[in-house]
Structure 1
Amino acid sequence: MTLPIGPLIAAVQTNCHIADARHAADLSLCTFLLQMREFYRWEKGLPLGAALSRDAIGQWLARREARWAELEGRDFVPLPGGATGEVDPFDAERLNRLLRPHGMVYGAGLLGPGRPTFFMARLEAVRPVADGITLQVCGAELARGLIAPPAALQGNTIVLRRESMARWLWEKFEALGLKKLEGPFRAVSQAYGLEEDFHAALPRLLDEQSRTLVLHEIGEHRAGRWLEPGWAAMRLALHERRTELLVRAVRDHIADFTHTLPTLLAESSASSIHFWFAGFDGVRRQLFPSLADSYRAWCAGDAGQALQREVARGALHFTQLAEQVLALHAQHGAEAGGPIAARLNAPAAVCGA
């Protein structure tokens, strides 16, 4: 069966542009500019860290924003499926059956209510991991959007995007060089020798720390056993971006405090603990600010005692908070957004407050 790969990649990329046109404005200006620089490098086939012409990227950005203005109100386009006919862009299972013989993979999911994301990549490996979950390891990306999560859970499949992870790591490394700050990513950089030769160190960093991302997604899968289907239904009642981020952070904390961090602490995996804390920021940190103190105690040599206590406390706190959010949705239904926002923005939502 002949699959029109070129037109398929073009159609997927069009849908990526439509999604970006709708939601790129959700990003902070700093995050937007950092991700657009890396998106430019990807689109132009440039290596990580390649020097960029200010004029060239400025002209490209102007063209891209004009293109987004054209696409913002458009529907997503169907994907060419060869002799099988057109494929709905959200029917990833069907398209992947067609792509598998070609060594490719397609992803379609939601970053939040009404916030879709798409990509297409080379498929490097498929293997079981735990709990009946399959891991898909993706390599070179053929189509992608501005927001490209390195790992995501889709049903019983964890999708690991190594190229997106590499670009995310480069953004962190680039920021480290600009700010000259100590902290968890500095410790990661030192553990892997990033400052000596980032590109030489990157493969081992990807191999070892992709497991940390997979542990999180396994934790997400386990959390979903009791959160769903109510959690997905609850998220549809949300209308504010900050509330969506807080709800996402609550579930992330449940996954990490019940599975990811207990696993890393049991293994005494120092580089992975530093790596996890390198991503502990934004609303996740706002909901549990004292966790950073236990990380510093671990760095100072307390053998993880404070961190183990805080992880256990966080698991209980955020599990109870999730139950309260679900109860508010059960009580208020489609009007639950306001009460949930009030609960998650209240001081008592912060662990240890």
Structure 2
Amino acid sequence: MNIDNIISQIKKNCNISDAKFWGEYSICGLLLRLRELYRSEKGLKLCERIPYEEISEWMSERENIWKELQDKELEDIIIGESAYGPFEVSNINKKLEERNLIYGAGYGIRMKPSFFLADLISKRRIDNYEVYIAGKEYARDLADYSAMIQDNTIFARVDTTKLLLWGRFEELKARDPKSPLSYAFSRYGINHDDRISDDIERKISLIALSEIETYIYHELGEAIEGEKLGDEWKELLLDLSGRKAEFFTRGIKDLLADTTDKGMINYIIKNQKEGSLGFYIVFLDGYRKLLFSEIVTAFKKFIDSGDWQFIEDARIEGYKKAKRYAERLLSVRKDFHGKVEVSEYIEKEIIDKIKIVKS
């Protein structure tokens, strides 16, 4: 088995996906993802400085690659004498697990295909789901999901999580020592005035291993709530023509996943993972933050009291709210038949009115 050749094939599909979807990111978001991708491809340590001239040249080269590939279709992965479609994850992994490697593939926001190849750290079952923990990554695209699910398989990515956490550590000095970010890192022994060092990199690697256990339960929640919502929800997402409507709808599903009885927040509460709770608040953004202000209020009360019941009460209320909105969105799809009509209704009659109430 020629591993280098397999890596090259997966990287090509990553580049094809990025070539078609890079415009979906904001300029700031794209530059951040390119920095992460550069660090990953070059095998740089988290604490290593990225030379400006080198990354500028690399970005220019990547732009040229995207221009060449933007009209290409995803290619099969050839392993030995066999060819596999890029989403035949189970069949590909039957071959790769012999070499302690793991391959992941799925669809993200705006249905962007996402792929990675990494060392396999461990494998286990949780309920009816196979869970793979992925380590050092040899191929990846711009998407930076810490965990992803396909069918009954969950992939949790340590390398990607380390990069996300490192980005937050670099923000730490500029934040208030009493901020959720400072709180989250302090639970893992990293303080507001700590400097970049090999020791900090080691600590962040350990944090990543702990945090992916939490992210696994978001994916379990996704699976549980996905079964409840059924195919109608998937069809709703495909029907949406507006970005705001899609992001809002995905935010509802994420909130259901986080707040369901077997989801992420319940896992945090049961295991009293204070650091994970802090990072949940840190990474709460966009429509999830708009919809789930209860958890922010509960977090402040928790900081003062240490009482997990505040978090549990917010979880229950968040789930009820997300469920109401999910039911309303499915009802809207039945009432309106055009893609544009559905998106416009969600944006004007739901999102805009929530913003007015919150303002």
The answer to whether the superposition gives a TM-score over 0.5 is yes
Q: How does 1:33-182 map to 2 (within 5 A)?
A: 33-84=31-82, 86-130=83-127, 132-179=128-175, 182=178
Counterpart of 2:281, as a letter, is F
The residue type paired with residue 28 of structure 1 is S
Q: How does 1:233-248 map to 2 (within 5 A)?
A: 233-248=235-250
Specify the SS of the correspondent of 1:15: helix
Q: Which whole-Å CA distance do the structure 1 matches of 2:337 and 2:88 have between them?
A: 28
Q: Secondary structure in 1 aligned to 2:119?
A: strand
Say if 2:301 is the partner of 1:297: yes
Show CA shifts across 1:159-213 (max 9, x none): 0011111111111111223556642221122122235432231243123222211
Unaligned runs of 5+ in 1: none
Identity in percent? 26
Q: Answer whether contact 2:41 2:138 (CA < 8 A) is retained.
A: no
2:286 is equivalent to residue 286 of structure 1:
no
Contact 1:122/1:141, CA 8 A, preserved across alignment = yes
Greater Cα offset, 203-212 or 102-111: 203-212
Using the TM superposition, give the Cα deviation of residue 344 of structure 1 relative to its aligned residue in structure 2, in angstroms.
Answer: 4.0
Partner of 1:342: 348
Retained in 2: the 8 A contact 1:117–1:147?
A: yes
- Cα 1:344–1:26 shift into 2, 3 Å: farther
Q: What's the offset of the Cα at 1:332?
A: 3.0
What SS is found at the alignment partner of 1:338?
helix
Once the two structures are TM-superposed, the CA of residue 39 in structure 1 deviates from its matched residue by 1.3
Residues in 1 aligned to 2:356 and 2:231: alpha-carbon distance in whole angstroms? 25
Does the CA contact (< 8 Å) of 2:184 and 2:274 recur in 1? no
Q: CA deviation at 1:315?
A: 0.8
Structure 2 contact 294–318 (Cα < 8 Å) conserved: no
1:307 to 308, 311, 326: 311
How far off is 1:346 after superposition? 3.5
CA distance in 1, matches of 2:104, 2:152: 13
> Which residue of structure 2 lines up, in the alignment, with residue 20 of structure 1?
18
**1:54–1:304 distance in 2 versus 1, CA, 3 Å:** same
Cα distance in 2 for partners of 1:350, 1:13 equals 44
1:270 paired with 2:274, answer yes
* Distance in 1 of aligned mates of 2:68 and 2:158: 31
Contact in 1 for aligned 2:129/2:153 (Cα 8 Å): yes
Structure 1 contact 16–144 (Cα < 8 Å) conserved: yes
Change (3 A) 1:341 1:111: same
d(CA) in 1 for partners of 2:180, 2:332: 36
Matched with 1:7 is 5
Query: Which is worse superposed, 197-206 or 343-352?
Result: 343-352
Residue type at the aligned position of 2:335: Q
| Residue identity opposite 1:341 in structure 2 | E
Note the alpha carbon deviations across 1:274-333, whole angstroms, 9 max, x for none: 122121122211223343122111112161444333222111111011111112223334
Q: Residue 185 of structure 1 corresponds to which residue in structure 2?
A: 181
- Shift in Å, 1:233: 1.4
Is the contact made by 1:238 and 1:337 (CA closer than 8 Å) also made in structure 2? Answer: yes
| Distance (whole Å) between structure 2 residues aligned to residue 351 and residue 176 of structure 1 | 32
| In 1, Cα distance between equivalents of 2:230 and 2:172 | 38
TM-score (norm 1): 0.91
Amino acid at match of 2:150: Q
The code of the aligned residue for 2:213 comes to: R
Amino acid at match of 1:227: L
Q: Does 1:331 align with 2:329?
A: no
> How many residue pairs are counted as aligned between the two chains?
349
Which blocks of at least 5 consecutive residues in structure 2 are unaligned? none
What TM-score results when the alignment is normalised by the length of structure 2? 0.90
